[in-house]
Amino acid sequence: MKEIKLHDRLFVPYISKEKILQAVKKIAKEIENYAKDDNIVFVSILKGAFVFSSDLLKHYTKDASIEFYRLKSYEGTTSTGNVEILVDIDSKLLAGKKVIVLEDIVDTGNTLVKIISELKKKNPAELKIASLFLKPDVYDKEYAVDFVGMEIPNKFIVGYGLDYDELGRNIPEIYVLKEKRMVDIVLFGPPGAGKGTQAQILKDKLGLTYIATGDLFRHHIKNQTKLGKKAKEFIDKGNLVPDEITIGMIEEIVKDPNSRGFIFDGFPRTVKQAEVLDKLLKNKDLIIDALLFLDVPDEKIIKRLVERGRTSGRSDDNEETIKHRLHQYHNFTEPVKEYYKKQGKFYKIDGVGDIDEINQRLLDVIKDLKLQVRD
């Protein structure tokens, strides 16, 4: 089973058809033991419980009748707390009878309280509640749920009669709302701006998945993957690795459903790559939410990298080489800023200062953007 989209929300598989059927049979057997030789009047709460009610009656072997009661308490993915009766039941059908209410799910209990209050007015001999699902973490009402198929956490679910704004009732399994992930960020700036350092800190603080193209190439080449072998052929010849190979490596990472979000370092480097990345993420129901640009003047970049070359012994960190790299950056990579500016996703951060100061500036922007990690 794959994730599905209903309206504007994504849902992922949660409870299988087999487990649902086991829960239905369990409730049917328990009610039979309770009913003994008495006829039962089932009251199915519409719309959500109609599938559950149908399957329950198929596995209930004793005599029973069924009535339907319809209320409304949900809008979108949350309970309004106000319960409205839409379809009522004639009191004569319930008076003096053993009545069992069939609910698809009991969470806050607001609907249940209203049901019990109204049905007691119809003078049943006994009144019991059966629910396929119960959320014990949020249910705190005084009435007992007498027959429970299974207990689940306080998560929003759809399928098997349950809906999200009227969609999803016909799904035979149960799906759960895909919790909000951290938005996906591109950390951008000239060579030597400190992107790698800051990306690692943000990764650890926010629990993000860090995607650096250099690391990707090294991983795939070291492990001799199919993509790694292709990339090595180009690198060995001194050529740039084609975008489709890089995107292929990135795609393997972004499909991870357990990630809290992604921070890209070193990609995209061109507008074409940015367009390809957007297309890839769109196919995964993801989106780049912000490009965070570390703004550092060229003279400071040159001074910083020359000093790094002296202390580290890196021969490529001489002034002439650095100026060439900056020239390449301004001509071919810097236009990516304009691409994201047009989308309203560009944010400039002062990249001059000590590491902690710069990191706090980045975190402040993320906080202002309300870019929250999922629960």
Model confidence pLDDT, tens digit, residues 154-186: 889 999 999 999 999 999 999 998 765 556 899
Catalytic residue among 47, 181, 325, 345: 325
Give yes or no: residues 39 and 91 share one domain.
Answer: yes
Please report how the helices 319-328 and 298-312 are oriented relative to each other, as an axis angle in degrees rounded to 10: 130
308 is known as an active-site residue: yes
169 is known as an active-site residue: no
Residues 6+ apart with CB under 8 A from 163: 47, 48, 169
Give yes or no: residues 269 and 154 share one domain.
Answer: no
Closest CA to 330 of 290, 298, 291: 298
Give yes or no: residues 83 and 199 share one domain.
Answer: no
Model confidence pLDDT, tens digit, residues 261-300: 899 998 998 999 999 999 888 877 788 889 999 999 999 9
Give yes or no: residues 126 and 42 share one domain.
Answer: yes
User: Tell me, what's the pLDDT at 372?
Assistant: 44
Catalytic residue among 308, 323, 337, 341: 308
Strands laid side by side in the 288-295 sheet: 209-212, 262-265, 184-188, 288-295, 346-350
CATH number at residue 209: 3.40.50.300
Give yes or no: residues 136 and 215 share one domain.
Answer: no
Q: What is the mean pLDDT of residues 327-356?
A: 92
Give yes or no: residues 149 and 269 share one domain.
Answer: no
* Residue 362, phi then psi, degrees to nearest 5: -65, -45
CB of 123 closer than 8 Å to CB of 89: no
Catalytic residue among 120, 282, 314, 374: 314
Give yes or no: residues 226 and 279 share one domain.
Answer: yes
Question: 21 pLDDT exceeds 70?
Answer: yes
Question: 315 pLDDT exceeds 70?
Answer: no
Give yes or no: residues 226 and 160 share one domain.
Answer: no
Catalytic residue among 181, 269, 304, 345: 269
Distance, in Å, from the CA atom of 215 to the CA atom of 227, rounded to the nearest integer, reads 13
Q: Give the mean pLDDT of the chain.
A: 88
Give yes or no: residues 120 and 99 share one domain.
Answer: yes
Token pair for 186: 């591109």
Give yes or no: residues 71 and 136 share one domain.
Answer: yes
CB of 69 closer than 8 Å to CB of 88: yes
Q: What is the mean pLDDT of residues 83-107?
A: 92
Model confidence pLDDT, tens digit, residues 185-236: 999 999 999 999 999 999 888 888 899 988 899 999 999 999 999 999 988 8
- What's the pLDDT band for 80 if we cut at 50, 70, 90? very low
Q: Identify the domain containing residue 107 by its residue range.
A: 4-177
Give yes or no: residues 134 and 254 share one domain.
Answer: no
Last-in-domain residue among 141, 161, 177: 177
- Per DSSP, the three-state class of 71 is strand
Token pair for 132: 């396929």
Last-in-domain residue among 140, 160, 177: 177
297 within a domain of the structure (yes/no): yes
361 is known as an active-site residue: no
Question: 375 pLDDT exceeds 60?
Answer: no
Return the number of other C-beta atoms located less than 10 Å from residue 82's C-beta: 10
User: Tell me, what's the pLDDT at 357?
Assistant: 95
302 within a domain of the structure (yes/no): yes
Give the rounded percent of residues in the chain with a pLDDT score beyond 70. Answer: 91
269 is known as an active-site residue: yes
168 within a domain of the structure (yes/no): yes
222 is known as an active-site residue: no
- What's the pLDDT band for 336 if we cut at 50, 70, 90? very high
- Residue 153 DSSP symbol: -
Return the number of other C-beta atoms located less than 10 Å from residue 170's C-beta: 10
Give yes or no: residues 222 and 205 share one domain.
Answer: yes
- Residue 168 DSSP symbol: S
Closest CA to 68 of 95, 96, 99: 99
Distances (CA, A) of 354 to 55, 93, 150, 300, 351: 65, 77, 54, 13, 9
Catalytic residue among 47, 122, 135, 195: 195
Last-in-domain residue among 177, 205, 224: 177
CB of 126 closer than 8 Å to CB of 139: no
Using a cut of 0.75, tell me whether the model's pTM lies above it. no
Tally the domains of the chain: 2
